[in-house]
A and B are shown apart, each in its own frame.
Chain A
């Protein structure tokens, strides 16, 4: 079922590196991790279960040097991180130690088992969106790939970051992630691969008219059954993430 989720309606968790979460959240003593969840995750269970193959959509800020998630194990989920501000250090047991800054993103497929650590080693806040997708096969070999979105070179163009497109990172699921970074009033029609695919539109910055719904900063909408979705941005800086998924 289609829905509109306003920024303030999302789940909100403030996770501190002190107390019961000290083994999970790094950066003791002053680190604080905030997470706005579009879908049920962890302590937030009062919302929607997910959207198609998308299970987690976390809008997260790591504050305080050393803040993040200590190394911990996953299976199966395909975890993507898109960095918008600050620097994220990602360590995984595939064998990667990576540092990602604004525009960088990765796809970590935990498959048959992989651990990762997400940490902000800098004094400035790190802002990223984490997405988790169910895979199309269980226990795939774990993998990690990363890429960069050049906001300047791709200004005012809808760019596929994840999916079967040149320059995009592929993953083992019928999903795509696209981004539009604009600084002028634009109108475009987003056409899903089929009427059975769902489209989740998330406004990172700016104001967006999504068909007949006005979406402000951090508002989002999940849409099923549309042949096309009309998106209009204002003249100001606008940043938009679009996830398309099989049911």
Chain B
């Protein structure tokens, strides 16, 4: 499946959209196809419009991509009530 997923680079700043990774921090789930992103979507970094992204077939550098640093919010476990 991942062979068919594509990567798109913003021609305004180089921001990368990888269909496999999506942009969970911007509300786009992993696996979301480029075609399914609204046409009025813009680069989150530089606001370049979607149509000025270009599909690229460039491999990742070693060790990339890192897991996203900002993931979906997960509530920390409630601290156990301690009775002193």
Contacts and interface: CB of A to CB of B under 8 A. Distances in A.
Given A41-B11, A76-B14, A76-B16, A134 B61 contact: no
A112 B64 contact: yes
Which of B46, B61, B64 is the most central at the interface, judged by chain A CB atoms within 10 Å of its CB?
A: B61
A154 to B, nearest CB: 32
A139 B46 contact: no
> Do most interface residues of chain B lie in helix, strand or loop, or is the interface mixed?
loop
A41 B10 CA distance: 11
A195 to B, nearest CB: 22
Contacts of B9: 76, 134
A138 B11 contact: no
Interface residues of A, number: 23
A72 B14 contact: no
> Do most interface residues of chain A lie in helix, strand or loop, or is the interface mixed?
loop
Interface stretch (B26-34, B52-60, B71-79): B52-60
B61 A77 contact: no
Contacts of A75: 10, 13-16, 45
B13 A138 contact: no
17 contacts: A49-B54, A72-B46, A73-B13, A74-B14, A75-B14, A110-B14, A111-B61, A112-B61, A112-B66, A134-B9, A135-B58, A137-B58, A137-B59, A138-B16, A138-B58, A138-B60, A140-B61
A8 interface: no
B65 interface: yes
Contacts of A76: 9, 14-16
B29 to A, nearest CB: 21
Interface in B31-57: 45-46, 52, 54, 56
B13 A139 contact: no
A55 interface: yes
Contacts of A211: none
A141 interface: yes
B62 to A, nearest CB: 8
Given A45-B52, A138-B16, A73 B45 contact: yes
Contacts of A73: 13, 45-46
Contact of A134 (B13, B45, B52, B58): B58
B11 A55 contact: yes
A45 to B, nearest CB: 7
